[in-house]
Amino acid sequence: MLKTFTKGGVHPPENKLTAGCSIEVLPPPETVIIPVAQHLGSPAAVAVNKGDRVLTGQLIARATGYVSANIHSPVSGTVSRIDTVTDISGYKQTCIIIDVLGDEWISDIDRSPDIVREIMLTSEEIIQKCLDCGIVGLGGATFPTHVKLKVPAGKKCNLLIINGVECEPWLTSDHRLMLEKGEEIIIGTRIMMKALGVTKSIIGIENNKPDAIKHLGKLLDGAGDIKVQGLKVKYPQGGEKQLIKAITGREVPSGKLPVDVGVVVQNAGTAFAVYEAVQKNKPLFERVVTVTGRSLSKPGNFLVRIGTPVARLIEGAGGLPGDTGKIISGGPMMGKALANLQTPVVKGTSGIVVFPAAESSRPQSAPCIRCTRCISACPMGLEPYLLMSLAEKGLFERMKAEKVTDCIECGSCSYICPAHRPLLDYIRLGKTTLLKMMREKSVK
């Protein structure tokens, strides 16, 4: 029986062109640019100096504070500069720039192709290993995994959900990973179950990936601890709260965390990274990125070193098409448009989508006709038309009563609006302004 979440949601065209493209290894570039803030939380502290020789997998920036993550060199070579570079968010931030020389890995990493099945580490050791290896959520939010695997005192977790939904149109990196590294993902899932102390896990996959549902089901072969749950295709099912609702029927209360309803959600890609860290001692320095677009000659899924400039990925996919008008990091619903092709791949980069100029600009915005489609589409039960009009008028405090802080910024409202109103833009403005006002008041 296929499940799905009940409230809202949209069905944008899926365009999963690269679903049949096996993961290709992209060799390291000549230079990598490594931002020290590529995870949620405080930026890592640079732990190398200009001129240092580094090996692939060597720690180059150390986590600062509890919610933070280590960063490792994705290549071997020389630290040429520590400088500020514009990253994906559009802000300048500290980056470590390394000139690549060969590809020499640190000796701790087990590079053998054998799958290590037995889980030797204890719960605490697993969490420490995730911290050491700089594992963060690879679905896009990049929340440090070691924090998420530690159930807060007084809370109880009884279910681990593995997010194999990949509801963003165009993207196929998790899909390919589930097909090609299915067994590793299952072991990674068991590792995280051990860390959390849960006996049950469910892998949620949308039924536009029937091969992945079948493949993982076959690998599990009726194992009692992990189940695969097929899901009806609907965006944004990959949203944490929507996925929990779809699978368990539980609703995470407003302002609360999944663990408050006894659930922890981890991405399928993260499960693979956890496997590699715990069983193979391999830090997170490469990931699978979908590079796609209708005008690319060779779109595909690539295993890429962190820090590789986007330009290199596009070369790998056949070069930049002449009609390109927009390049998106991530999926088209929640991804960020890039201004600069030298922007590096970071831990959270799940895909690069290239749009031709004709599809790059927004349709002209018209007056709201109150068709109610934004309300029907909102997975959080909000009224986007109202939030936009409140933000336009600067009535930010009223937006609090209208629950703007529940907005997950999935973009369903702006997608579905027949008047093409910039709903999410104004909601973001209202949300950030309101959060700022709330912070200032709490400081006073």
Partner 1 sequence: MSSLLTVSQSPHIHTRDDTRKLMRGVIIALIPAFIASVYYFGWGALIVTATSVLSCIIFEYVIQKYLIKGPVTITDNSAIVTGLLLAFNLPSNLPVHLVILGALVAIGIGKMSFGGLGNNPFNPALVGRVFLLISFPVQMTTWPVPSGFKTGYADAVTGATPLGILKEGIRNGEKVSQLMNQIPDHMQMFYGHMGGSMREVAALALLIGFIYMLVKKIITWHIPVAVTGSVAVFTGILWLINPEKNADPLFHLLTGGVLLGAIFMATDYVTSPMVPKAMIIYGIGIGVITVIIRVYGAYPEGVSFAILIMNAFVPLMNTWIKPKRFGEEVRNG
Backbone φ, ψ for residue 366 (5° rounding): -125, 170
Judged by CB under 8 A, the number of residues near partner 1 is: 70
432: Cβ–Cβ under 8 A, 6 or more apart, which residues?
Answer: none
360 touches partner 1 (CB under 8 A): yes
Which tokens hold the place of 387? 């939030």
Options 64, 80, 86, 324; binder of partner 1; rule CB under 8 A: 324
* Residue 78 β-bridge partners: 53, 99
422 touches partner 1 (CB under 8 A): yes
The site map against partner 1 for 388-407 (x = CB under 8 A) is: --------------xx--x-
236: Cβ–Cβ under 8 A, 6 or more apart, which residues?
Answer: 9, 167, 242, 333, 334, 379, 408, 410, 412
Options 32, 162, 274, 338; binder of partner 1; rule CB under 8 A: 338
194 touches partner 1 (CB under 8 A): no
Q: Quick one: which of 331, 113, 363, 173 has its CA closest to 239? A: 331
Which lies closer to partner 1 via its Cβ, residue 103 or residue 383? 383
CA distance 151 to 377: 33
- Of 238-297, which residues contact partner 1 (CB under 8 A)? 241, 245, 251-254, 256
Options 17, 151, 202, 337; binder of partner 1; rule CB under 8 A: 337
Query: Which 8-state DSSP code applies to residue 410?
Result: -
Give the number of C-alpha atoms closer than 13 A to the C-alpha of residue 205, restricted to the C-beta side. 24
Options 3, 7, 232, 294; binder of partner 1; rule CB under 8 A: 7
At how many degrees (to 10) do helices 210-220 and 173-180 cross? 30
Which lies closer to partner 1 via its Cβ, residue 217 or residue 422? 422
For the chain, the C-alpha Rg in angstroms (whole number) is: 21
CA 344 to chain centre: 15
Options 112, 113, 322, 393; binder of partner 1; rule CB under 8 A: 322
- Of 119-148, which residues contact partner 1 (CB under 8 A)? none
Where does this chain bind partner 1 (CB under 8 A)?
A: 7, 10, 12-13, 90, 169, 241, 245, 251-254, 256, 320, 322, 324-328, 330, 332-339, 353, 355, 357, 359-363, 366-372, 375, 378-383, 385-386, 402-403, 406, 409, 411-412, 414-420, 422, 424-425, 428
